[in-house]
Structure 1
Amino acid sequence: MSKNFSAYSTQSDSSLATLCRRGDDSAFDELVRRYLGKIGFMARRYSVQGYEHNDFIQEGLLGLLSACKSYDDSSTVSFKSYMSVVVERRFISIIRRMNTKKTVPDSALVQIDGLSEQLEDNAQTPEELIMDKEQLASVQLRLKSLLSDLEYQTLMLYASGLSYRAIASRLGKSESSVDNALQRVRRKARGLY
């Protein structure tokens, strides 16, 4: 780390991004310290065959660096929000690249769990982690009661990273039935929030 680590811990994200853009590695280290948990949380929501969780975290850190270099200090958008969008788009790009040989519509890349709004920040204490798990369990229970068996099974298989084709094969349904089920899930899940 750096000679002035404590000085960096009091800096705003925006000023750290500016320092990072000027080549200050310690400023980037401080941003990594602040956002590694959030990047890890964001990475958990994505899954694609051939990529492990740590691969997504590394891509997320590259996204953080990219956000530092491209953030506009005069913007009304906070650095945290800007960085989240940059990292999220990087994850989506990975999934698109990995699925180029598959026929997965762009709508499949949209998050359907709705938890990103509810659990925006990663839990940093054990108490917060337990509360987040309880919220997730509560949402899953509500979804299970709200959705048909086919919709719930389709959602769980999709959330585990399977393609439409693999889900259709596993459930003995057509890909269009899988797509329709996920569209209904999205519509019903919006009503929860």
Structure 2
Amino acid sequence: MRVLKFHKLAVSLLHYKEKNTDMAVSSTENVLIASAKQGDARAFELLAAKYKRLLEWYVKQLNLPVSEKDDFIQEGLIGLLKAVRTYDSKSSSFVTYASICIKSSIISAVRKFNKQYNTLVPYDEGSYDNVPDVSGSPESDFIDRESVEILYNKIFSVLSEYELTVFEMYLSDMSYADMSINLKRDIKSVGNAVFRIKKKLKETIKPNR
């Protein structure tokens, strides 16, 4: 049932036609978020279309080689997915929460990149405080609706059942330790699964860029 729900979401994305929707009213946005959590493809697509500008803005703050931008865009997408999956309207506005999730994912990726390649991609967390207005999103520089569709659609053809389970837990912001307990696997197994997931998602997106 779980895989079927997400597969239905991915297939529906391919048939989505963009609509002009007033995203300014927070109550309307909360309805979209609630629907997206339940697997409504159109609701998530509307949210992704709106917040992609925010995602791109964060990546633009980094002095990255063009060849590396895809990886960080992917991390930002995962951050946005986390935001949609874990948002609680009682805590803060979604734009604030989405900003935190995207920022956290990208900064985490920068730190891992610097450590892995023994290099320094500079970033200033303070410069991330003045986020752009996301009420209107211009043509995308790095990511478009097709990329989001590809990401969702390919998940079900490239990830194993175990990886799908790990990915869902990862999007729910579950720690590696908690995933390890729930799955009855050691932390190394969970970490390796997350690494494989990101590698596979990267390979599905990159050829289309």
Give the TM-score, by structure 1 length. 0.50
Higher relative contact order, structure no. (Cα contacts within 8 Å, ≥ 6 residues apart): 2
Structure (1 or 2) with the larger CA radius of gyration: 1
